[in-house]
Amino acid sequence: MSEQNMNIELKQVNGITFAAKGDSNHWVIMDGPETFNGSSAGSRPMELILMGLGGCTGMDVVSILQKKKVKLDDYKMKISAERAEKHPKVYTKIKIEFIFIGRDIKEKDVERAISLSENTYCSASAMLKKTAEIETSYKIINS
């Protein structure tokens, strides 16, 4: 299966608890809160969208830095988002903080990697920009 085409299968587990898998053949559990007849047994679908954004841009940034021979001791991201008050309650503002830990990490390398992901490579970012302002920041911590 090419990366241009994807197939997802969802199965109801119980109530609004669903198991889903894609072409990678890994199952993910989704659920809602008890107040919505859920069991709180999995991530919420909207959380998974933010996790997907983080994974997409995070993998881009690491890959670009690896090509530049930047050695990271650790790497983290924090993502927060605001949603519209009325349905369909899309994301309207997303903040991504990249945290790089290591020695001799150059700001210009980090800025270039984030920019390339944001503006060229990350499909999730490109889609979410249609409804949300995406703000990025970074921190470099010398270890």
Tokens of 32: 């809602």
Whether residue 24 has pLDDT greater than 70:
yes
Q: What are the pLDDT digits (tens) for 38-93? A: 999 999 999 999 999 999 999 999 999 999 999 999 999 999 999 999 999 999 99
pTM of the model: 0.93
Cis check for the bond before 33: say yes or no (omega within 30 of 0): no
- Tell me how far apart the alpha carbons of residues 99 and 101 are, in angstroms, rounded to a whole number: 7
Q: What is the pLDDT of residue 4?
A: 83
- 1 pLDDT above the threshold of 60: no
Query: Model confidence over 107-127: pLDDT tens digits?
Result: 999 999 999 999 999 999 999
Kindly tell me if the per-residue pLDDT of 2 is higher than 80.
Answer: no
Residue with tokens 């984030």: 114
pLDDT digits (tens, 9 = 90+) for 25-34: 999 999 999 9
